[in-house]
Amino acid sequence: MNFLATYQSLFDHMLVNMLLAMSQYIVLRAGVFSLGTAGFTALGAYGSAILITKAGWPPAFAIVFGVALGTLASALLALPLARLRGVFQAVATLAFVQIVLSGTQNWQSLTNGALGISGIPHSVGTGTLVLIVALVVGLMVSLGRYSFGRALDVIREDETVAVSLGISVPWHQRRAFIISGVLAGLAGGLHASSSYSIMPTDYGFALMVATLAMVVLGGRTTVWGAIVGAIVLTALPELFRVFAQYRNVVQGLLLMLVIVYLPRGVADTLIAMARDRRLRGALNPSQ
């Protein structure tokens, strides 16, 4: 029990990070190079935190509002984004994150500026978080297993092939992007109501890098990659407290090593290896 109490906030943090990692995973799987997750998270977190502290909304409704905010932003952003590709998508979403960030920093009357919003009641417990994350993982796995996930894989690997197979690239990429906004908005709302206070710097460049790092480390073609990445990168700094000073060095080196030597990510590489072995076994039963 003691163990649980000590690591409860870490565990909560890990669960929220899983949602963030899945939000980043779904766009990358669709071949959309979006960095917008941090921006949607900020919208979700601020939207729900303001409603809870200033308007006295019950947390559940406020979180739903945060999700709606993230969804709306991603649905609007998806329209112009479909015309861009690669680096241009990355820069456009980066601009979006910066716009949201300067909004949270400068709209003093609403967001309390750089100080952030504090005194948010802690209303989402670990149990609720586990339940929500499990539900989302289940949805994402089944979504990825059937035609939607297959279509995303084809689009990522080769857009021309996808078009020749009758898969609408903009339709699928837009859906993936909106799902990313939903999940990020949810993660933001849950983060706000499970961590007492939020600040603009929680949702800046650092969050963007961290989310990207989780998905790169774990793998960006399966849900499990995102989950593994979130677990490892949240737990790593805690396990190596001694190296707290070198936390960024470790994270940076890890990113470089993984992208160079394990470009598909740790979990995805393992999953692919297991699948290869199974297929080979099925083809040659004698071996």
Q: Applying CB under 8 A, which residues contact other proteins?
A: 28, 33, 80, 82-88, 90-92, 94-96, 98-99, 102-103, 105-106, 159, 163, 169-170, 205, 209, 212-213, 216, 245-249, 251-256, 259-260, 263
Residue with smaller CB distance to other proteins, 143 or 209: 209
Residue with smaller CB distance to other proteins, 106 or 147: 106
* DSSP conformational letter for 117: B
Least spacing, CB of residue 251 vs other proteins, in Å: 6
Least spacing, CB of residue 104 vs other proteins, in Å: 10
Task: At 30, give phi and psi (nearest 5°).
Answer: -85, 0
Least spacing, CB of residue 140 vs other proteins, in Å: 21
Residue with smaller CB distance to other proteins, 157 or 238: 157
- Give Dmax over CA atoms of the chain in angstroms: 73
Task: At 198, give phi and psi (nearest 5°).
Answer: -130, 150
Residue with smaller CB distance to other proteins, 92 or 192: 92
- Closest C-alpha among 236, 231, 180 to residue 208: 180
Least spacing, CB of residue 154 vs other proteins, in Å: 15
DSSP strand E in 161-267: where?
none
3-state secondary structure of 195: coil
CA dihedral 238, 240, 243, 245 (to 10 degrees): -10
